[in-house]
Structure 1
Amino acid sequence: MASSPDVAREILQKYDEAFSGRTVPDAVTALENHDMAVLWISAGDQWRFISRALNTYLTHPQKLDTLRGLRHKAVEEMIEHVRERRDRAVAIGELAFTTALNQMSNTCFSVNVAGFESGEVQEFLNAVKTLMVVDGKFNIADVFPWLKPFDPQGLRRRAKVAYDWLDAVSDGFVTRRLKHRESNLPGYGDLLDSLLDYSQENESEFNCKHIKILLVVCSLSLSLSNHVGG
């Protein structure tokens, strides 16, 4: 903890990179290529490339405005679903989660990943809940690193199932989009298209592995925030 403004200035301005390292929880290492995730890598060239991609193609106000129609489409579908049910009960939490999930997937992939009465949303929920539980539990292997190979509480094993499922979903979208682009078909203009364009321009620093891990982290972060908020 900085004890004075001068010390804080020294830390933040002169030694910021030295103090920006993050301790990676053992459960997170179950995520393939976790060392490429912007949440866990230390500040450096790789972090700057990924951060620049996020700022340009995901959080930039102009980019968000261009994708507004896709997000509105998900809300309109939710309203239409409620209208069709008329006097039947609606599970508000699941409805909100499905809508938020489809808003995220339309921003990233230009498609819905879950229907209001399909099993896909439950699979996402299961993955999110698993990672919420695992990440929220005290892990003795984080305190005593020599226990990590044994995974005594089974947290890394449980996390791997959820991470592998999310990774497979992202990998499927990336693979299909690459085939789409190889066929010289019109682009979608979504986040995935932008990231693929960015990787072509900066192939040595940013490739498909970075894209897949970035999509997993983004989808997980948005799903977690909406699940917690609900």
Structure 2
Amino acid sequence: MTIIPLLAITALLFYLLFNRRSRNPNRLPPGPSPWPIVGNLPHLGTIPHHSLAALAAKHGPLLHLRLGFVDVVVAASASVAAQFLKTHDANFASRPPNSGAKHIAYNYQDLVFAPYGPRWRMLRKICSVHLFSTKALDDFRHIRQEEVAILTRVLVGAGRTTVRLGQLLNVCTTNALARVMLGKRVFGDGSGGADSKADEFKDMVVELMVLAGEFNIGDFIPALDCLDLQGVTKKMKKLHARFDSFLNTILEEHKSGNDGGASRHVDLLSVLIGLKDDADGEGGKLSDAEIKALLLNLFVAGTDTSSSTVEWAIAELIRNPQLLKQAQEEMDTVVGRDRLVTELDLSQLTFLQAIVKETFRLHPSTPLSLPRISSESCEVDGYHIPKGSTLLVNVWAIARDPKMWADPLEFRPTRFLPGGEKPNADVRGNDFEVIPFGAGRRICVGMSLGLRMVQLLVATMVQSFDWELANGLDPEKLNMDEAYGLTLQRAQPLMVHPKPRLALHVYESN
């Protein structure tokens, strides 16, 4: 008689096990075991996108981490990223709370960290129409070309001196954006004149980048937030006060007309001021705080990302001189050597576009996407994603996935040409194998401008100069290590000697 209870118990155990495996409504994605209190924070290491890629290789392309008291899911393959950013895009349309948005970006009144809803749509519409539409980009094309031409003259004037290329690229991208946004430069124009306000603004942008790349423990363990153990909050508040003062001055100068001769009613700030009382979005009027937060977003997101991408591209071409020569031959054929390349030439420069795509793949400017948060629980790849989970997409890992790319660590632009493995790859958020600007509702609003600026700068640097490394360094020994931050910076800045390859009058005539 004892066999019957035993069989019943065995059957019950099998039923429970099968039922758990088949239903498992709360089965979280795999991941490393968390530590007490701090969770998986120690697993992030000094370069999180590297550490998370290694964890994905061990646990799978969909990871679950516990950072402090916050559920975090990480997408590390194109197929998983597509489920989050396409299938479940609406559920992950908002940003999680963070100290940077609270203390620097006007308490979430900016575009980047604003909650998904009417106010966010209004701000995005303003940018899309007045700054990033095809018409606006075409109207301001001459400004970008003028600033790039100024950069070439600065590089020609450098002679045999060593230049820090990334720094000069950043000056160029910032001035080009500032002339559109404010009607004037914020940095020197290359003539050597000092500008204390421009120097101050540059210092503030650099400091913001540093703070944005820091981990603030209070974001993940709320009970410790008020203690500000690392002093991050104090630094953020101090930096916000400096930015606010700077932006207030610009705002008041525009309103009063005392802007030093800047062309009002053309630049974005004049448009924003005009929209202040009659913004036509669902969210209502546009406040001064929203205007300043928007300007802050554009300056931070629209300058360093482009300049760092171009710096990586030139570094790769220096390491691969045969690719540089091939790109220069295409440039000489399509553009010639008696004028500088323009944006109108870019569509004909097939190999140049492949170089830019390969740079976006191998060196994405934002290696970990800006975080999103789930509004409701959902299921991805059969796993439960809890409500309130933070989503990170490891753009860097996806673009180096050996299942998707042949020899993924090699810089090989031909993979994007006819006959290559991804000849029709679209970097505008449609092909999830390479998504340097993100995808879905929260895709980078300035993507079109970023593409134009990066392509024009890379094309101009390729056409206008041959490149030698400082101190006679062998290109094969060039350090290509990464430094983690808000954007993917080089661990060591690219120090070069530019050698003009066009007649000098070409640089002076533009």
TM-score w.r.t. length of structure 2: 0.39
Q: Does 1:114 align with 2:194?
A: no
Q: CA deviation at 1:142?
A: 1.1
Deviation, structure 1 residue 132:
2.9
How many residue pairs were aligned? 222
Partner SS state of residue 132, structure 2? coil
Rg: which structure is higher? Answer: 2
Change in CA separation of 1:46 and 1:6 when aligned onto 2, cut-off 3 Å: closer
Higher normalized strand content (fraction of residues): 2
Shift of 1:79: 2.5
Q: Which residue of 1 aligns with 2:136?
A: 63
Q: Does 1:131 align with 2:208?
A: yes
After TM superposition, give the deviation of residue 34 of structure 1 in Å. Answer: 2.7
- The aligned residue for residue 299 of structure 2 is 219
Cα deviation, residue 199, structure 1? 2.2
Quick one: distance in 1 between partners of 2:203 and 2:156?
A: 27
Please tell me the residue identity of whatever aligns with 1:46: R
Residue pair 2:173, 2:306 contacting (<8 A) in 1 also:
yes
**Distance in 1 between the 2:270 and 2:127 partners?**
13
> Are residue 82 (structure 1) and residue 159 (structure 2) matched?
no
Of residues 269, 277, 287 in structure 2, which corresponds to 1:192? 269
| Structure 1 portions without partners, runs of 5+ | none
Query: 1:191 Cα shift?
Result: 1.2
Which residue among 177, 183, 205 is the counterpart of 2:285?
205
Residue of structure 2 in register with 1:177 after alignment: 254
RMSD of aligned Cα (Å) = 3.2
For residues 212 and 253 of structure 2, the distance between their equivalents in structure 1, rounded to whole angstroms, comes to 31
CA distance in structure 1 between the aligned counterparts of 2:263 and 2:147, rounded to whole angstroms: 22
Q: Does 1:140 align with 2:217?
A: yes
1:49 CA drift (Å)? 0.9
Residue 42 (structure 1) aligns with? 115
Aligned partner of 1:23 in structure 2 is 96
Per the alignment, residue 232 of structure 2 pairs with 155
4+ residue runs over 6 A deviation: 5-10
Change (3 A) 1:87 1:120: farther
Higher helix share: 1
Q: Counterparts of 2:83 and 2:132 in 1: how far apart (Å)?
A: 33
Matches of 1:70 and 1:9, distance apart in 2? 35
Please say if residues 71 and 106 of structure 1, whose CA atoms lie closer than 8 Å, have aligned partners that are also in contact.
no
Distance 1:6 1:113 in 2: 41
Query: Structure 1, residues 147-177: CA drift from partner, whole Å, max 9, x if none?
Result: 2222111112222333333333322221111
Matched residue of 1:77: which SS? helix
The letter for the 1-side match of 2:99 is D
- State the shift of 1:30 in Å: 1.6
- Percentage of matched positions with identical amino acids: 19
Structure 2 stretches of 5 or more lacking a match? 1-72, 74-79, 312-510
CA distance in 2, matches of 1:124, 1:187: 21
Amino acid at match of 1:224: D
* Amino acid of the structure 2 residue aligned with 1:107: V
